[in-house]
Amino acid sequence: MTTGDATRETTAVHAGEASAETGGAVTSAAVHSGPDWESATEAVLASLAEAAKPDLGLVFIDSRFADHYGDVLARLRKGTGVANLVGASGEAVIGPGVEAQIEPAVSFLGLSLPGLEATTISLPTGAPLEPALERVAAAGARAWLIFADPFSIDGEPLVRAIEGRAPDVPLLGGLASSHDMRGGAAVFSGGEVQAGGAVLVGLKGDFNLHSIVAQGAEPIGQPWTVTACEGNIVRELGSRPALEVLQDTLASLDPETRARAQRNLLVGLAMDEYRYQHGRGDYLIRNIMGGDRESGAISVNAIPRVGQTFQFQFRDAEAADEDLRAHLQILKQRLLPGETVVGAVLCACNGRGQGLFGTPHHDAQALADALGPVPTAGIFASGEIGPVAGTTFLHGFTASIALLTARAR
């Protein structure tokens, strides 16, 4: 395998590039910022000039270039020779080791994978869902990437519908985002700006896809069993009032941990009750919506069930850092001999980044620290999509990463 990662002399605020070649896979990624779309796009193309023509291009464009999405796509199509460009806008974009949150940027990941068959399915606003789902079922893909416009489509029901037609197939991606909450978010399909909705890419070939969904939470107290609930209301945990259990859990913590936990309390719902012990990645993390002192019930942003394992959690920068790095180390240990990560698509919540961690490039750099200079592209999303314990969900405050691997021949 060969990899490359260069930091070149540039006037751009943000710049990063990486390439990989192993087992017939050739991938290359670059992110560059600029004062205008032309300079950013040309810098990306210059970084990719020596790369082989990709079979599939993933492109992510800062929403501050919204008036020129079509121009960026046309220039990338011409410069790379790739007609099948798929991606989304973001209020910031991500590249190899770089999160471009200051100056607007363009990020591109070109994939040439052994035996790659990419099935692109466009679902513009107002289009009937059933024909798209039939194509999902017929594609026989090993994995799906999805990007959707949150202003024009409801992501959660769409994820449920896709998973119903392609069970046990990884589905990862995110919701486009924009600096302008009134609009400006977009998805890209076939090298064109799509009229809202969603775009899916099914991947099939001689490679593997691994998923990481780092929800950034740390458990506190002990696991409990839900013994009474109704809808999103949890009435009892272990036959005790849920609010009483929460208060006792906080009281049991040391002062420092208690102070951290009280700022952002969450709940974790175990997705697989057949596990003897639940650990990192086994819980779906959701918000606590409120509590009722009179009844002792709490409301959560989920629909728990009686008998489900439940544990209180909290999230802050330290917990989010530890969680992501732990997931990356677990993934690294699971790679087979000769198996190398050759590409990554990273969708990080727009509530992460420098605003959460206080330093730039956190998630992108954590990925590089763990796995080396992986060709990476992605966005800061308004919702992240990925599996927890085998079931796909729409998340918040999460880093969802699709990792493509190939084995040396």
Helix ranges restricted to H, 175-280:
242-251, 255-263
Inter-axis angle of helices 317-334 and 362-371, nearest 10: 30
> Does one domain contain both 289 and 339?
no
> Does one domain contain both 51 and 119?
yes
Instruction: Find all residues with CB under 8 Å of 98, minimum gap 6, and list them.
Output: 14, 15, 16, 31, 361, 364
Which of 314, 348, 373 is at the close of a domain?
314
Structure tokens at 232: 């999103």
> Does one domain contain both 147 and 283?
no
> Does one domain contain both 7 and 48?
yes
Which of 296, 314, 332 is at the close of a domain?
314
> Does one domain contain both 143 and 69?
yes
Nearest CA among 123, 105, 114, 161 for reference residue 142:
114
> Does one domain contain both 51 and 86?
yes
372: left (phi over 0), alpha (psi -120 to 50) or beta: left
SS3 category, 111: strand
CA 153/CA 175 separation, integer angstroms = 10
> Does one domain contain both 242 and 337?
no
CB 301 within 8 A of CB 341: no
Residue 9 parent element (H or E): none
Structure tokens at 175: 């919701």
How far the first Cα of the chain sits from its last, in Å, is 10
> Does one domain contain both 42 and 59?
yes
Residue 288 is which amino acid? I
Q: State the 10-residue block means of pLDDT for the chain, 409 residues long.
A: 44 83 92 96 89 89 96 96 95 97 97 95 95 97 97 93 96 94 85 94 96 95 96 98 97 95 93 68 91 96 95 94 96 94 97 95 98 97 95 95 92
Instruction: Find all residues with CB under 8 Å of 194, minimum gap 6, and list them.
Output: 122, 124, 186, 187, 188
Helix ranges restricted to H, 81-190:
129-139, 155-165
Residue 170 parent element (H or E): none
- Residue for token pair 């989920």: 302
Which of 290, 314, 338 is at the close of a domain?
314
CA 174/CA 377 separation, integer angstroms = 12
> Does one domain contain both 246 and 342?
no
Global confidence as pTM: 0.92
Per-residue pLDDT at 253 = 96
Per-residue pLDDT at 9 = 36
Torsional sign, CA 352, 357, 358, 360: negative
The residue range of the domain holding 24 is 2-214+320-407
Q: Report in angstroms the alpha-carbon separations of 247 from 162, 219, 241, 243, 290.
A: 39, 15, 10, 6, 13
SS3 category, 301: coil
> Does one domain contain both 55 and 144?
yes
Inter-axis angle of helices 129-139 and 155-165, nearest 10: 40
Per-residue pLDDT at 8 = 39
Q: Report in angstroms the alpha-carbon separations of 52 from 24, 57, 242, 388, 397.
A: 12, 12, 58, 35, 36
> Does one domain contain both 308 and 359?
no
> Does one domain contain both 187 and 233?
no
CB 4 within 8 A of CB 30: no
Per-residue pLDDT at 244 = 97
CA 402/CA 405 separation, integer angstroms = 10
CB 310 within 8 A of CB 224: yes
Total domains present in the chain = 2
